[in-house]
Amino acid sequence: MHTEEIKIQKAEKKKQERQKVFEPKVLVFACNWCSYAGADNAGVSRIAYSPNVRLLRTMCSGRVHPSFVIKAFVEGSDGVIVSGCHFGDCHYMFGNYRAEEQYKKLQEIVGLLGLEPQRIALEWISAAEGPRFAEVINNFVEQIRKIGPSPFVNGHDKTLKSEKLFDLKTYKIYECLECGRCTGVCPVAKTHHQFSPRRILSRGISQGLNSLSSDQTIWSCLTCKQCENVCPADIPYSELNKKVRAVSKELNIERTCTHGGVFEQISNLMTQQDIQQNRLEWVTDDLMIGDAKSDTLFFTGCSPYFAAYFGEPYADTLLGSLKSAIKLMNKIGIEPLLLKNEICCGHDFLLRGEPEKFKTIAELLTDQIKNTNAKRIVFTCPECMVTLRDEYPKVIGNLGVELIHLSELIESHLDEIKFEPTESSAAYQDPCRLGRYSGLYSQPRSILNSIEGFDLKELHHNKKNSICCGNTAWISCDAGTKEMQNKKMKEVVATGSKNLLTACPKCFIHLTCAQDGKKEPDNGSIKINDMWNFLGTHLQ
């Protein structure tokens, strides 16, 4: 669109101006035994090199998580080098091989983010290679000088303040009867004995918000709404939980994170204006994509990043789900537009207690959407849909477009699509955000049942009672989580089917992960698939 082009031009101009006096800011992760020692060797030999570099020492290059590197870009780095020992020389035998494996994931993520691939490097420098260290640094800094400052040059917004403590009364909690129904039904409380929704409320009522100081269990809630389902006082527990998380800093509660916090760092980057991602590589030629005039937008969500980080057996299914969604839409005559620079919906910011960042990203995404001609947005990810539908109005007002889940859309056009008959069966898992949050139970089922020969099984706890997949917002994961997931898999086994279909990319990832690892005698053979990916392979 016109405004998009102007924006790009402006960004280019700003970039050129900055480059006039541009001094690269480079960070190097150096392993203690080789690379850091190599830098010392350069020092002892008094070999001069560019001062635009700072070293961060770890014992082994294998210690460097991709999230550290992304964090460096979030904070304003222009280039990052990960450096370790030559193969065969690692002080810890194979740590550098592991570093290389993680680096490959990092390269994919950096590619998606639209960062120039030359902004990161993986180097093997030994303790005796002082001159080589200097050479590597000089070459890298020059390279960065040529390509200019990082698009995220503003670093992250340090003016964002966290919220002040609030009055719990405003959240209706005084109406709590302390009946215990919430804890009775809560799947987390069942497997995490320290956690209880009721106890948190009770403390809050009798002693105020400060009673929750240092209480780590506020991070345990999955906001699955099982409790809200049964609460006689209609307490909005999920909302309350998010609000308490927003003041977690004041309450001295540290947040945990999984996967090194890499997804947190990626979403932090997306709050910055100048990001220009490269996230549509997965789109194949057989998919018909709309153009600027299109009135339907397909919101793809963060699946490309998950695919890059987790690799197989996730990537194929996650990307296949997106492709199938488009194929299905094509079948009913829709050529959806895809946002070239689609940023994260921001759901996880709310769950991490960062409402300011949520507001920032909501504004940016809203801008993107308003710059299209879309009158309607189609979602496969229930989380994204719920966020735009329920949370965006609170911060930006009315989006002014129709928000619809693909299951609703397809179900209403079911007569236009023919599926291949199949002699298979699968159980279906109702995602929290699709089921309890949105009331969409029958639509996915209708679609699946329309396949001739397909035997749809119901889990023991289904529909409104469906049990959450165990994780949300990449915050926490532990043995209790695994227990929850195992219980779910046992339910699948009990249906007699070896397959499980789900309609949410997060559910897919978490339940598949639950299958990894040791000692899963009952459940190890369940094949988990995303519903759209499944449908896509059965299209005629």
Q: Residue numbers of the site for other proteins (CB under 8 A)?
A: 23-25, 27, 32, 36-37, 39-49, 51-52, 54-60, 62-65, 68, 71-72, 75-77, 91-95, 98, 102, 128-132, 134, 155, 256-261, 476-479, 481-482, 513, 516-519
- Is the Cα torsion angle 134, 140, 146, 148 positive or negative in sign? negative
Q: How far is the CB of 493 from other proteins (least distance, A)?
A: 20
- Which residue number, 52 or 529, has a Cβ lying nearer to other proteins? 52
- Which residue number, 26 or 344, has a Cβ lying nearer to other proteins? 26
- Among 374, 229, 381, 365, CA closest to 303: 381
- Which residue number, 266 or 409, has a Cβ lying nearer to other proteins? 266
Residue 124 Cα to chain centre, angstroms: 31
Q: How far is the CB of 455 from other proteins (least distance, A)?
A: 32
Q: How far is the CB of 526 from other proteins (least distance, A)?
A: 16
Distance CA(302)–CA(279), nearest Å, equals 10
- Which residue number, 199 or 482, has a Cβ lying nearer to other proteins? 482
Distance CA(308)–CA(310), nearest Å, equals 6
Distance CA(427)–CA(430), nearest Å, equals 10
Distance CA(185)–CA(433), nearest Å, equals 18
- Which residue number, 24 or 435, has a Cβ lying nearer to other proteins? 24
Q: How far is the CB of 98 from other proteins (least distance, A)?
A: 5
Distance CA(488)–CA(490), nearest Å, equals 5
Q: How far is the CB of 133 from other proteins (least distance, A)?
A: 10
- Among 120, 149, 136, CA closest to 49: 136
Q: How far is the CB of 44 from other proteins (least distance, A)?
A: 4
- Which residue number, 91 or 538, has a Cβ lying nearer to other proteins? 91
Distance CA(169)–CA(185), nearest Å, equals 24
Q: How far is the CB of 419 from other proteins (least distance, A)?
A: 35
Cα separations (Å) of 405 from 329, 382, 390, 402?
A: 12, 7, 14, 10
- Which residue number, 260 or 346, has a Cβ lying nearer to other proteins? 260
Question: How does DSSP classify residue 256?
Answer: P
Mapping DSSP to helix (H, G, I), strand (E, B) and coil, where does residue 455 land?
strand
| Sheet of strand 402-405: strand arrangement | 296-299, 376-379, 402-405
- The token pair at 410 is 């397809």
- Which residue number, 50 or 373, has a Cβ lying nearer to other proteins? 50
- Which residue number, 293 or 519, has a Cβ lying nearer to other proteins? 519
Q: How far is the CB of 163 from other proteins (least distance, A)?
A: 21
- The token pair at 106 is 């990092």
308 with 109: CB under 8 angstroms? yes
Q: Provide the angle, in degrees to the nearest 10, between the axes of the packed helices 303-310 and 95-112.
A: 160
Q: How far is the CB of 62 from other proteins (least distance, A)?
A: 3
Distance CA(32)–CA(57), nearest Å, equals 6
